[in-house]
Amino acid sequence: MRQSLGSYRRIVILTGAGTSAESGIATFRDADGLWAKHDISEVATPEAFARDPTKVLEFYNQRRRDVLSAEPNPAHRALARLEQELPLRCPGAEVLVVTQNVDPLHERAGTKNLIHMQGELLSAWCTACDARQAWDANMHAASPCAACAKTGTVRPDIVWFGEMPYHMQRIEDALAAADLFVSIGTSGNVYPAAGFVAGARRAGAHTIEINLEPSEGASYFHERRHGPAGMLVPEFVDQVLGSFRF
């Protein structure tokens, strides 16, 4: 029997690759995941990019091509519905989605209050002028920056292993004020995201894990719901919205 949910006003949602799995986007640590086919140290570190930029750029070119035609699934759409409808039922209530994912599916589903803590496949970063720019084509070592026209300075706008995730202060502030923290589709292997549940609990938030199977951090959550996000997230959103009587 599902625990009934209280009425929550400051909701922080963390999403990982499992949220996009039903949209056909590969996860990382499942049996057929990206890290079963690619060595992190060869495609997802600053050292790898310095050593062999072509190999790294081709890895991200392939992932960028994969997301160009990907569609949001019911999990993405339910989270967008939660963001839109919660303030109508509870003025001032807010939903923040913090995603580890670099695909654009939350935006395509309509989520607006969104943090990409590990960057975005459809963005490029020029290390000469620091400009970030929309990028949906293949990227090459000599691709010119759209802002400063320099070549050899454009890289994927992706946070690689050993680099600091983006917007950490904003995330920590949101966790400190949360009354509900929900982790969806992440294995809980990578910090700092894997530690967000502890921060939310310190703030007194109720914490829920929604994942296909127990994550590394499952025991830190008050509640665990295991199954496909495309089924469990719409059900969760109906429960949260239903807890507010019109």
Positions in the binding site for ligand APR (CB under 6 A): 16-18, 21-22, 27-30, 33, 100, 118, 185-187, 189-190, 211-213, 215, 228-229
Torsion of CA 217, 221, 226, 231, to 10 degrees: -120
* Distance of closest approach, residue 149 Cβ to ligand APR, in angstroms: 31
Closest contact distance (angstroms) between CB of 75 and ligand APR is 7
Picking from 159, 158, 160, 129, the residue whose alpha carbon sits closest to that of residue 145 is 129
For ligand APR, the closer CB: 34 or 95 = 34
Which of 148/212 has CB closer to ligand APR? 212
Half-sphere exposure of 209 (CA within 13 A, CB side): 24
Give the nearest residue (CB) to ligand APR.
18
Closest contact distance (angstroms) between CB of 10 and ligand APR is: 23
Looking at the Cβ atoms of 11 and 184, the one nearer to ligand APR is: 184
Indicate the SS3 state at residue 140.
coil
Q: Which is nearer to ligand APR, 93 or 115 (CB)?
A: 115
Inter-residue contact 126 to 154 (CB < 8 Å): yes
Compute the least distance from the CB of residue 184 to ligand APR, in Å. Answer: 7
Peptide bond into 228 cis (omega under 30): no
How many Cβ atoms sit within 10 Å of the Cβ of residue 234? 18
Q: Which is nearer to ligand APR, 177 or 212 (CB)?
A: 212
Please name every residue paired with 180 in a beta bridge, in sequence order, or none if there are none: 11, 206
CB 40 → ligand APR: shortest distance, Å? 7
Q: Which is nearer to ligand APR, 121 or 180 (CB)?
A: 121
Strand partners, 154: 126
DSSP state string for 159-201: --TTSPPTTHHHHHHHHHT-SEEEEES--S-STTGGGHHHHHH
Q: Which is nearer to ligand APR, 27 or 143 (CB)?
A: 27
User: Rounded to the nearest whole angstrom, what is the least distance from the CB of residue 186 to ligand APR in the complex?
Assistant: 3
Q: Is 100 exposed, middle or buried (0-12, 13-18, 19+ CB in 10 A)?
A: buried
**Least distance to ligand APR from the beta carbon of 231, Å?**
8
